[in-house]
């Protein structure tokens, strides 16, 4: 075999094997319509030439890509350099799930303000899109509607696309909020506060809030006694929110935060004011990001199963692409009791 200039093509193999290029193509995709001997010969030559199917050519012909795109968008206010650890964990599980199913993953960060919605599938770079991120849901929804109108294949994490539950994988946030509320009640706490946006601009956080309120009401605590303050999912926002709450003269002995990052910032602010966690204020977070177990005190939190979530996102997107029915998936949250709530022995 003489070395060829440039990469080998199926024609080179055909020439060397003494068959037609069509046969080579069939053999390489292991078509049952090809004689085993012919196949063996072709495989051997392909291996020798270090031949790889040109994906651009095969995708162009097949009109498909074998690739999924992950669009990760963030609140534009967030520091550029840091990605929310929760999404990073999701990224990990999504990447694994893709590999397992023989798909490639195209990853891209986006600002919510950009025109991210249109391009990946239309330009044939991906068969479908996975959306991941926090941000104002009202802005988000608009893009989602464009995607819907363009019949792009997509799934998203967390927030439901109005009237289309099949496009979403989400945690049971209401249940998560209930778990947090109930647990805090069990610790004998009476005066509650919640950090995180609790409006339809942030449906996930809202559900967490509502879940907690639900638990409190069952225990005879009225919603109007609960202090609530908006916070995006960053440490800084949690820190600031506590200071604001105190400036407003609000007092509380139980604090439920819409995310761990908020909780960690809040704990810092509380400690800076000389308050003890959990003695003075019991704190529960949400997500169970890796740092949660390292904060002081270790953070009690509502865990979201990122492995399952990532897996389901990929599985459902693939089903959508293949026009198969999807399972409606809701991930069940789980409370991880550590020290910040005052329950576990220290």
Partner DNA sequence: CTGAAAGCGCTTACAG
Contact footprint for a second copy (CB under 8 A): 7, 50, 52-57, 59-60, 65, 67, 72, 80-83, 85, 88, 91-93, 95-96, 99, 104-109, 118-119, 122-125, 150, 264, 290-291, 294-296, 307
**What is the C-alpha to C-alpha distance for residues 281 and 103, in angstroms, rounded to an integer?**
47
Residue closer to DNA by CB (options 29, 162) is 29
Q: Which does 264 bind (CB under 5 to 8 A by kind): DNA, a second copy, none?
A: a second copy
One residue of 1, 2, 6, 30 binding DNA per CB under 7 A: 6
One residue of 1, 2, 30, 33 binding DNA per CB under 7 A: 33
Q: Which does 11 bind (CB under 5 to 8 A by kind): a second copy, DNA, none?
A: DNA
Torsions phi, psi for 285 (to 5 deg): -105, -165
One residue of 1, 2, 3, 61 binding DNA per CB under 7 A: 61
One residue of 16, 45, 51, 286 binding DNA per CB under 7 A: 51
**What is the C-alpha to C-alpha distance for residues 256 and 72, in angstroms, rounded to an integer?**
26
**What is the C-alpha to C-alpha distance for residues 291 and 241, in angstroms, rounded to an integer?**
20
Overall residue count recorded for the chain in this entry: 346
List b or e across 212-251, with b for residues whose CB sees 16 or more CB atoms inside 10 angstroms: bbbbbeeeebeeeebbbbbbbbbbbbbbbbbeebeeeeee
| 43 in contact with DNA (CB under 7 A) | no
Q: Which two tokens stand for residue 313?
A: 């996102």
- Candidates 300, 293, 49; CA nearest to 182 is 300
Strand pairing partners for 70? Answer: 107, 130
Residue closer to DNA by CB (options 21, 95) is 21
| 328 in contact with DNA (CB under 7 A) | no
In the complex, which residues of this chain contact DNA (CB under 7 A)?
6-7, 9-11, 18-23, 25-26, 28-29, 32-36, 38, 51, 53-54, 57-58, 60-63
């Amino acid at each position: 075999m003489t070395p060829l200039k440039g990469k080998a093509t199926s024609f080179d193999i055909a020439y060397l094997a003494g068959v037609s290029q069509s046969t080579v193509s069939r053999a390489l995709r292991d078509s049952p319509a090809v004689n085993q001997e012919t196949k063996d010969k072709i495989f051997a030559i392909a291996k020798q030439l270090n031949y790889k199917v040109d994906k651009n050519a095969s995708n162009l012909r097949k009109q498909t890509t074998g690739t999924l795109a992950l669009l990760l968008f963030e609140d534009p206010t967030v520091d550029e350099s840091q990605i929310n650890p929760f999404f990073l964990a999701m990224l990990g599980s999504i990447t694994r799930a893709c590999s397992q199913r023989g798909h490639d993953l195209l990853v891209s960060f986006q600002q919510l303000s950009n025109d991210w919605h249109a391009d990946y599938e239309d330009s044939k770079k991906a068969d479908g899109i996975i959306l991941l991120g926090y941000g104002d849901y009202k802005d988000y929804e608009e893009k989602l509607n464009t995607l819907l109108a363009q019949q792009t294949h997509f799934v998203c994490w967390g927030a439901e696309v109005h009237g289309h539950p099949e496009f979403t994988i989400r945690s049971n946030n209401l249940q998560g909020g209930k778990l947090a509320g109930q647990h805090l009640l069990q610790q004998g706490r009476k005066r509650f506060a919640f950090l995180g946006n609790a409006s339809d601009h942030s449906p996930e956080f809202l559900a967490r809030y509502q879940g907690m309120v639900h638990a409190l009401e069952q225990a005879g605590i009225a919603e109007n006694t609960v202090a609530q303050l908006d916070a995006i999912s960053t440490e800084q926002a949690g820190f600031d929110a506590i200071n604001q709450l105190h400036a407003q003269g609000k007092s509380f002995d139980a604090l439920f935060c819409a995310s761990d990052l908020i909780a960690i910032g809040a704990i810092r602010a509380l400690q800076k004011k000389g308050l003890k966690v959990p003695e003075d204020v019991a704190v529960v977070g949400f997500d169970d990001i890796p740092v949660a177990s390292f904060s002081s005190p270790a953070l009690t939190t509502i865990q979201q199963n990122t492995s399952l979530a990532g897996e389901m996102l990929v599985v459902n997107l693939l089903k959508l692409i293949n026009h198969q029915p999807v399972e409606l998936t809701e991930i069940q949250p789980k409370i991880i009791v550590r020290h910040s709530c005052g329950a576990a022995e220290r």
